[in-house]
Amino acid sequence: MMLVSLFIFNSKMHYKKFTLRLVVFLLVIYSLDLMIGSVLEFLFFKQKTGPNYQIIESITTNKADLVILGNSRAQHHYNPRIISKKTGFSSVNAGLNGGYGIYLPTFQVEVMTINHNPKVIIVEIEPNTLSYNKLNYYLIKVLLPYVDRYPNAYEFLKLTDNYQKIKLLSKAYKYNSLIFDIIIYNLFSNKFAYVKSFIPIQKSLNKIDSVANIGVNRNLNTFISDLNMELILKKLIYIAKIKNIKLVIVNSPIYNNEVNDNYSFAGKKAIQIMNDNKISFWDYSNDTSFLNKYYLFSDKLHLNDKGAELFSNIIADRLVAEGIMKNS
Amino acid sequence: MLFNSFQFVFFFVIVTSLYFALPHKYRWFMLLMASCYFYMSFIPIYILILLFTIIIDYYAGIYLEKFQGKKRKTFLIISLIANVGILAVFKYYNFINDNISSFLGILEHKNPIPYLSIILPIGLSFHTFQAMSYTIEVYRGNQKAEKNFGIYALYVMFYPQLVAGPIERPQNLLHQFYEYHEFDYERVVQGLKLMLWGLFKKIVIADRLSIYVNAVYSNPDQHFGFTLILATIFFAFQIYCDFSGYSEIAIGSAQVMGFKLMTNFKRPYFAKSVSEFWKRWHISLSTWFSDYLYISLGGNRVSIPRWYFNLFFVFLVSGLWHGANWTFIIWGALNGLYLIFALIKNRLLRTSEKSRPKIIKSGFNIVNILITFALICLSWVFFRANSAHDAFVIIRNMFKFNMPFYSGGWKQIFYGFVGLFFLIYVEFKQEFYFEIETRLPLNSFSIVRNYLFYAMLLISIILVGVFDAGQFIYFQF
């Protein structure tokens, strides 16, 4: 009996000690997290080059009339200098390498229009990418560093997992996997040239590659509709409408198309949403000026510098021709 | 439910709190229910497979104890057939069928045997081996048959080690379910620290290294020289941190509730020979094979050629245990050959280490550690490669140094090296400086140092950890 009482007494003492020390430990964690997170936040928004800066600039200091948004195909295909020269309007390419989905341009448009409304926004989207893709959700975390300053980022981040709200209690978590970028782009900013975000690719597909079957081989049946991505597209269209911005969605050229029907059910649904909302959708995926012209491509999905030059001219001409941007 | 998920954090807190809140007599039942829930969070229906083997082994244990003579052997065989049979169907059926198809293809015949469209139950090889160790030990008379069906089921299903070990022995674990574990501050904190260290190894080191490894190993013919060497070294540490990280979370979470699970890893990359490596790597499996297969074959108390065969055979089976693929079989065979060559070398070149000066001895040790690591890395190529063909391509390309190095953007290499240096520093201290054998990374009584160290470990997980990277490598076995 005495032994049992001793056990209970001991246990109670241990619970008390444990609870007390756990509280202290949590306080230490909270302080360190806040301290490190704040330093990283400061350094993150201090970057003057690199991929993160492209987003920061597009949503903060950008004052261009025409903004190009989207993924790597946006970044490598649209030369803002050519577009500005032909249209007479200032333009900026804020596309970003990395396969980010529709959520990134939507977030950028939502934030940039707080201070400045561009006249035209071009969003580079391959409509099939609005289908369900696990990677789409994984990559939404690119918006983590912005959530404190721009809380609307949470609308996208909450789609990633059910525990995002808990994770966001940590300040340091918002800079997860970014320490390397923060160090490099702060310390060596002069080593990374930044030319209005447009990055031309110098290499070309060679003839051997072009003869080989390197077409865009897709099984369209595997593309499943994604309601979240459709809603984000609708949101993008809605913001453009209420802010009176001309929104143009472009699917730029690809090297070769193996399938006759370009679009999956999900892709067609995305196009339907654009049509229903009278959004210009310019599809160059079957454009004969580019199809199978290996010397205009760096790989099957990306134009090289020559291809980008040709494509930028075509886009600029069309913007003028359709009266979207009238040459002054 | 993965150990590196938020779901597990909630599960662990609830189960542990309930464990200490409940009276002793209800604890085992709560743990059994929690373990069922844990297992069913993967593929619920597969619990029936587990239940099937549990029923067979439970009754086999009782009858093994009850009967004498030939009947005992019959019950043991029934139990072993049931366990190995399930493994054969779920793990090896399609592999065998695939090889039959290839063979018949050479003879220009079609294979009439259909393929099974099944998913391998998670951790099947682990809990099957744990169940088999019970019936074998009862048969050998080292363990009394468990009369309480629930306790026996808990022995097989105990959630911390259910899906990836350590593969426990009944003598070590069963009696612990009857013991009363009070809330002990030191033990609970040590367990939590071990869990944190395991989590760090998994999501900061292993998952980070996996990004570079996957990029290289998924295109083996596009990479050469240093790229392949670095990817292979990274994989060696990835698999170590992934698996030992899992084991540490398992051991830690059991320790919090007062259960002692066996050590599974003892800094294997400090091994000075391949045989020492296997005494430090996946100890619960190595000892399982040693206790139940190697010794049953006669161990080393046989003729020398037979001894070598026994060793080779055990490693071949160990390879097959890991996966139904030729890559694993070659991996096992290669390790078996390493050991045989080492034995032959030791017989031919007997050298006395005692006569060497200390500095020479240290030099030899360093060289031996590096050679062992290189040999183990070579075997990991087969373990990681997607096919035997890929593995040979990788080994061939490894020695072509005039090709460009693939950095993958340097970011992953940077994180990889930072993690590795920290791990090696910690393990070096554990190996050579800590006075008490410990699995924990810090051996300090200073409260401030402890707070800061473990807080920084947690912050590192938050800052550098790869979240949502997926399951542990060994879950697939």
The 10s digit of each residue's pLDDT in B354-369 is: 667 888 888 888 999 9
pLDDT of B289 strictly over 90: yes
pLDDT, chain B, mean: 90
Q: Is A11 on the interface with B (CB under 8 A)?
A: yes
Interface predicted TM-score of the whole assembly (ipTM), two decimals = 0.81
Tell me what the mean pLDDT of segment A170-189 comes to. Answer: 89
Band of pLDDT at residue A111, cut at 50, 70 and 90? very high
* pLDDT for res A195: 47
pLDDT grade, residue A131 (50/70/90)? confident
Instruction: Give the CA distances from residue A225 to residues A102, A126, A131, A138, B199, in Å, rounded to whole numbers and listed in that order.
Output: 14, 14, 5, 17, 36
Q: Which positions in chain A touch B466 (Cβ < 8 Å)?
A: 177
| Extents of the domains making up chain A | 1-44, 46-321
Q: Tell me the helices (H) and strands (E) count for chain A, helix number first.
A: 13, 5
Residues B136-178 pLDDT 10s: 999 999 999 999 999 999 999 999 999 887 999 999 999 999 9
What is the edge-to-edge ordering of all strands in the sheet holding A246-251? A91-93, A66-70, A120-124, A246-251, A280-283
Predicted pLDDT at B31:
96
Q: What is the C-alpha to C-alpha distance for residues A70 and A93, in angstroms, rounded to an integer?
A: 9
**How confident is residue B35, by pLDDT bands cut at 50, 70 and 90?**
very high
Annotate B353-392 with b (16+ C-beta within 10 A) or e (fewer): eeeeeeeeeeeeeeeebeebbebbbbbbbbbbbeebebbe
**pLDDT of res. A215:** 47
The chain A residue lying nearest B190, using CA atoms, is A18
Mutate to test the interface with B, among A12, A162, A179, A299 (most CBs of B within 10 A): A179
pLDDT score, position A5: 55
Residue range B65-76: average pLDDT?
87
Q: How confident is the model at residue B476 (pLDDT cuts 50, 70, 90)?
A: low
Within 8 A of A18 by CB-CB distance, chain B residues are 183, 185, 188-189
CA dist A67 and A314 (Å) reads 17
Q: Please, how many CA atoms are within 13 Å of residue A93, restricted to the half-sphere of its CB?
A: 28
What part of A 263-302 touches B (C-beta under 8 Å)? none
Chain A with chain B: Cβ pairs closer than 8 A? 69
The domain locations on chain B are 6-180, 186-476
In tens, the pLDDT along A251-260 reads 999 887 665 5
Per-residue pLDDT tens over the stretch B312-352: 999 999 999 998 889 999 999 999 999 999 999 888 876 66
B-chain residue closest to A177, CA distance: B464
Instruction: State the pLDDT at residue B153.
Output: 96
Say whether residue A168 is in contact with chain B using an 8 A CB cutoff: no
Q: What value does the mean pLDDT take over residues A16-43? A: 93
CATH topology classification for A46-321: Rossmann fold (3.40.50)
User: Chain A contacts of B180, Cβ < 8 Å?
Assistant: 7
Chain B: give the shortest CA distance to residue A89, in Å.
35
Residues of B annotated catalytic, as ranges: 322
